[in-house]
A and B are shown apart, each in its own frame.
Chain A
Amino acid sequence: MRKKMNSISKIASAGKRGDKVRSDCFIQMELKKRGGLKSSIISKVNVMYGETINDLLLEMCDHFGIENAEIFIEDYGALPFTIAARFESAYKKLMSQDTREFLLPFSKSNKQSTTKDRLRRSRLYLPGNEPKFYPNAGLHKPDGMILDLEDSVHPSEKENARYLVRNALRSVNFYKAERMVRINQLPMGLIDLRFVVPHHVNVILIPKVESAETVKIVDEEIQKIRDAYKIKYPIYLMPIIESALGIINAYEIASASHNICALTIGLEDYTADIGVERTNEGIESLFARCQVINAAKAAGVQAIDSVFSDFENLDALRLNTLQAKSIGFEGKGCIHPRQINVVHEVFASTQSEIEKALKIVDAFETANKQGLGVVALGNKMIDAPVVKRALRILELSNKK
């Protein structure tokens, strides 16, 4: 390794710089043959954390065995997980064959597990390469938090975003939100998996799925990584269907793996694929959405709606979400934290739904206590799925 390093002398950088940059940093690194370590740090928080930043830099140089280099950091108040990601990203551009990783301690709060059928009313998309959104995103209480490596990340930033997302999964507290990552389309998405699977991700979103085959490839790759890292926690899959062909194959996709927890639809790409404009009313995608719902239910997984992109219009979002709920969706993507409350309010159960559900659950529990195999409410028989739905209604309204 040392020999190789000596033969290289080039400069790499990662991160962002400029007047508008916040909570990020720019790191430029030049590996040298001699001369020792030279670093210069310009930081907005120099008075408060200048020493800490320098310590982190030295620790990382030590970790990667960097002895001769010029390192320049322009810091706009980046948190440690961001500085570390930018450093490693710059370094790996110079030394791509170095497989060592610099991993910050795993925050205890981030080891929460998930279940296949937990509530997924809202999932908030966070652009993978924008660290400033990370630390407060969980405060808005989405059911799920998606760190996005796909469409919100510019192709030239894919590599940088991976280190950032990996570090965020370890360091950032997303509070109670389910921890999701949207990987890139295959084959790039398979590399993404190596950066996220070992770091307690709960759900992987697979974009632009058109066949069961894609899901199976992802599933197998995850299994390989699980075995290598001896991972015990469950990791679920949420395929996103975004094309006419995908819609045709919706059931095959939804049932491609027992790890699938939900099926969802991406309407920006779908409407482009069928050659129409996307509207707030959504008539043009009604067929596709119903198809996704039907396929999901047939496969026994959740059906989740697309995002609503007109994020300043919360009234339109409310109508759109009401429609989604009425045709069978159980959740919706959010691209702005202000959308979360609206989505939750719509998916919350109505008073009459709650009252009916309470009666059903009550009858079920009474029958159980009495050891009766058959549950009846009035003169109607109650099947297991009805009880399950009633329990979900109560969960949605926080009554149970």
Chain B
Amino acid sequence: MKFIKNTANRLVPLQVNGQKLTPFKGVGNYIPKGKTASAKISSCTNFDPGGNKLVKSLKDALIKAGIKDGMTISTHHHLRNGDIVTNLLFDIIKGMGIKNIRWFPSASFPCHSHLIKYLEDGTIHHIEGSMNGPLGKFTSLGKMKGVGVLRSHGGRYQAIQDGDVHIDIAVIAAPSSDHFGNANGVNGKSACGGLGFALADSEYADKVIVVTDNLVPFPCVPWQIQGNNVDYVVQVDSLGDSSKIVSGTTEITKSPDRILIAEYIAEFMEAVGIIKDGFSFQAGAGGTSLAFIPFIKEKMKAKNVKASFVRGGSSKYLVELLEEGLTNYILDGQTFDLDGVRSMRDNPNHVMTSPFTSYNYHGKGNFASIIDAAILGATEVDLNFNANVVTHSDGYLLHGIGGWQNCLFSKCTILAIPSFRDRIPVIVDNVTTLCGPGELIDVVITERGIAINPRRKDLISAVNNSSLPIRTLKEIQQEVYEICGGVPMKPILDKKSVVAIVKWVDGTVLDSIYKVLG
């Protein structure tokens, strides 16, 4: 494997899985030429004039779609940890004796550890998408045949659109569909909200299969997925465990330390003047990124201001803002609970977005850079504000990038992280894996203090007279080292053996992830 040092000073391979790569050239410095990919021309004469695309099983649909060894097959992750369609899909592929599939999910969850046996037996060659939990550990130990490719949600759209990844067959699990393939995620027993992550798949794949457990009469509206892009529709009994698709119990953390961080986020946003009429912010699910919403809400009410829009990850907390008139719109990338699903279904101001609208870097503008503040997590951050979201300090790949890289372009990017987890310091000298260049990360908020990137002199002067605990990353790091018992050792990695690469939002290679030796 040949390596080159990219402009972020990281060694990256020039080629993986037989595909040539472009090393990272710096934020905003790589502007590819050429044309975007396009799907083959279809003709309606090849389809039932009555609009019926039903086939009797997923296996039949795969045969009709011409499945063969080495193909790229995509799935989406809106069913989250309740998804059984992807597992069923690969059970069938395995049964057909097909090998060397490139699995191209928009994300994976622990439920997909079912697929480890197919990675072992060669049914799946490698994963391009998040490798979480058990799949991550499998990859980190160097057991995957090919090299994993990690992309952000926007980067995934970019890769499809730019022709970096060509999808042979897209399998789209849809909580509601008609026989023509018009589909949505807001109705049915497996309702999961929007289906935005499957948009590019439906537009660019050679063959598109919609799998539903709720076949409704034509027309299925709203049509988040347009039937005109769909080849086959398959009816199944169930898409998955609905209690794990949306928990219905997305609750704010009870951890007092995380609530303290959430409080600091709101106070910081107020101190630097972000909370004003017409502002916007991005929230996530779980932990701190939900917990700050009630604090923001209190401040919005006290100041009598209203947001123009909020981005999510929608949950009942964002829905409350919309329903209480504190924001004009929710622009929703994925829906985390039943309140979110209901709101998207019933409220025209709760709008589904796709990675194309919200994140794609190779588009005519970028929603992500319009947002006033994005609150994100990280597994590690270094003294130059570079951050890691995919590997832990022990070297293991445990998370996907999600929309994280894309959100870094907001006007004020805030990493909300604990300064240490159990005995694991989060502020390190060098991140194990670089996922986000420090120049895009403005503030790190921990329970032990708030560090502002020295590049953001405007923010530094804005908090000058506040009572916020402003410190440097170095100061917080030193305190944590004292608590944890010194400077932690680094994992032993096999620097010759790249198990996955991290792509930047423009398709260039930002960093390599290595095999863990111990």
Contact = CB atoms under 8 A, between A and B. Distances in A.
Interface of A: 22-23, 44-52, 76-80, 107, 132, 135-136, 139-140, 173, 336-338
Interface string B415-454: 0000001111100000000000000000000011000000
B interface, over-half SS: loop
B489 interface: yes
Given A47-B394, A47-B395, A140-B256, A52 B424 contact: no
Contacts of A80: 485
13 contacts: A23-B422, A45-B394, A45-B423, A45-B488, A46-B394, A47-B394, A47-B492, A48-B489, A49-B423, A49-B486, A139-B257, A139-B447, A140-B260
Interface of B: 256-257, 259-260, 393-395, 421-425, 447-448, 482-486, 488-492, 518
Closest 3 CB pairs of A and B: A77-B422, A48-B488, A337-B256
A139 B260 contact: yes
A379 B17 CA distance: 92
Contact of B423 (A48, A107, A136): A48
B258 to A, nearest CB: 10
Nearest to A77: B422
A146 to B, nearest CB: 16
Contacts of A139: 257, 260, 447-448
Contact of B422 (A45, A47, A51, A140): A45
B423 A78 contact: yes
B140 to A, nearest CB: 12
A78 B420 CA distance: 12
Contacts of B482: 107
Contacts of A140: 256, 260
Contact of A47 (B393, B448, B485): B393
Contacts of A78: 422-423
A23 B257 contact: no
Contacts of B518: 47
A48 B490 CA distance: 6
A338 B259 contact: yes
Contacts of B395: 47
Given A45-B394, A45-B424, 15 more contacts: A45-B488, A47-B394, A47-B395, A48-B393, A48-B488, A49-B488, A52-B485, A52-B486, A79-B423, A79-B484, A135-B483, A136-B447, A139-B260, A139-B448, A140-B260
Contacts of A50: 489
Nearest to A336: B256
A47 B491 contact: yes
A49 B486 CA distance: 9
**Which residue, B422, B448, B518, has most C-beta atoms of chain A within 10 A?**
B422
Given A47-B491, A338-B256, A79 B424 contact: no
Nearest to B395: A47
A107 B395 CA distance: 32
A77 B424 contact: yes
Contacts of B491: 47
A18 to B, nearest CB: 14
**Which residue, B256, B447, B482, has most C-beta atoms of chain A within 10 A?**
B256
B260 A48 contact: no
Contacts of A23: 422-423
A139 B395 CA distance: 30
Contacts of B259: 338
B418 to A, nearest CB: 8
A47 B518 CA distance: 7
A76 B422 contact: yes
